[in-house]
Structure 1
């Protein structure tokens, strides 16, 4: 690992994660999940018409982008400048999910483009990843909540079918939840991020790891070492998944 990258992240000295076996995971657990995720999207109770739910669950990338761009399903559509769909490799093994767009993202239409985005890019580089190359980045909600507040449950519910369809189309091997809001929404829990970190979770059969949101790390520099541990755990998990798939 390039020490300069670690220095940029403020992660020196390096904390090493103890190696551990990843048990109970199917080699293809991150692939071919489209049917399961579509079923989840259709069975979950949303405040939406059946036609909308069915259309989202069967949309291709182009149609899904159009639907998100024109969405007025919740009040966030009234205050946004534009929707923030997501960005990256549409067949990525890695899927990073945050909570929602901020002011800069609302202006540019791309997730994680401010200071938090720069830190996320550094975090990716620290484990030999790059935005857009085997990585996809999305959010729980596609519109900026006013004042950068956390998304409300009803807002997340209206956006959930879009995210489920993105996951079904990408078929990632591993999901990384960035921050408490993303983790609690994906795992349907109110548990603290401290209790969710360091363990392998599952979302619709896909392994999921929880770490801190980059915006939080900008305010809490002391937790960058913990985020580095999470990234190492995610990197080792992905290596195990890829090794199991190729064997």
Structure 2
């Protein structure tokens, strides 16, 4: 229908044939309006309707000329169409966050941080999935000016609860080992030690650290070493040794020798938790501590 034409009548009647009531009803079901002369409408009534015809009626489309059908179809409301097709900002794909390198989540400038900034960076770090399961980050403990530095692997359950490395039974054994060489985590200078782990968050169920987790935490440990400036580093456990020395060699093959990390001598020994399970190797650990004392004295 033309936009300027009323929707209930047509000015041009030449296109409308005389239709019976049945044909009009069928067209109405199709949504086609048919104009009827007023005189015809006035005389139309119940008696004017013809008797039902048993013969099939031909399709209305064949009877009604095409122009009438085209003009008689009610106009389709289009006021809502712009809402349905209105342009909207392109959605961000769901997989986009996974494509962002996790390194971007670690604070920038770790290599230049001082102690307060470094500790704050570790506390708020979300560079790997361990941030989702930790209770506390485990930064480090001891004298930041000590000439001995102890590097362990990863926090356990007790460390995660207390936020301090080497607590529980393994921590007690480490304290005994330090006392045997005249040091403690509470001591200072020549009588103290600084203790830190490679990982600052506990892996779930104390599982082994994963390579990407170690890679994310290593810059924090490197900065701790740079700030402490120890004379000797005692690496305890396989993952501490592998992280510092960049090697896959087992501890048994690395013991008894002096290695280097950023110019600092490194002595390799067993983790206290391992020594609790294998007491026979405590004698080897004592030999490693003696080598550390000898190396640091030089």
Secondary structure of 1:172's counterpart equals coil
> Aligned pair 1:193/2:260, yes or no?
no
> Aligned pair 1:161/2:161, yes or no?
no
Per the alignment, residue 112 of structure 2 pairs with 58
Per the alignment, residue 42 of structure 1 pairs with none
Per the alignment, residue 209 of structure 1 pairs with 267
Matches within 5 A, 1:27-42: none
Distance across 2 between alignment mates of 1:77 and 1:57 = 21
Q: Is contact 1:89-1:136 (8 Å) kept? A: yes
Give the one of 206, 209, 234 matched to 1:151.
209
Distance across 1 between alignment mates of 2:267 and 2:149 = 10
Question: Which runs of 5 or more structure 1 residues have no equivalent in the other structure?
Answer: 1-45, 241-247
> Aligned pair 1:173/2:228, yes or no?
no
Distance across 2 between alignment mates of 1:114 and 1:51 = 30
Q: Is contact 1:84-1:106 (8 Å) kept? A: yes
Question: Which runs of 5 or more structure 2 residues have no equivalent in the other structure?
Answer: 1-100
Per the alignment, residue 127 of structure 1 pairs with 181
Give the one of 24, 29, 48 matched to 2:103.
48
Q: Is contact 1:53-1:161 (8 Å) kept? A: no
Distance across 1 between alignment mates of 2:138 and 2:104 = 23
Shift of 1:51: 8.4
Q: Is contact 1:99-1:150 (8 Å) kept? A: no
Deviations 1:148-184 (A, max 9, x none): 1111110011011111111111111110000111001
Shift of 1:230: 0.5
Matches within 5 A, 1:104-115: 104-115=158-169
Deviations 1:221-242 (A, max 9, x none): 10000001111111111111xx
Deviations 1:10-43 (A, max 9, x none): xxxxxxxxxxxxxxxxxxxxxxxxxxxxxxxxxx
Give the TM-score taking structure 2 as reference length.
0.63
Give the TM-score taking structure 1 as reference length.
0.76
Q: Is contact 1:88-1:131 (8 Å) kept? A: yes
Distance across 1 between alignment mates of 2:218 and 2:193 = 20
**Greater relative contact order, per chain length (Cα 8 Å cut-off, separation 6+):** 1
> Aligned pair 1:225/2:279, yes or no?
no
Distance across 2 between alignment mates of 1:158 and 1:179 = 19
Per the alignment, residue 43 of structure 1 pairs with none
Per the alignment, residue 25 of structure 1 pairs with none
Distance across 2 between alignment mates of 1:220 and 1:51 = 37
Q: Is contact 1:93-1:174 (8 Å) kept? A: yes
Shift of 1:50: 10
Q: Which has the greater radius of gyration?
A: 2
Distance across 1 between alignment mates of 2:122 and 2:156 = 17
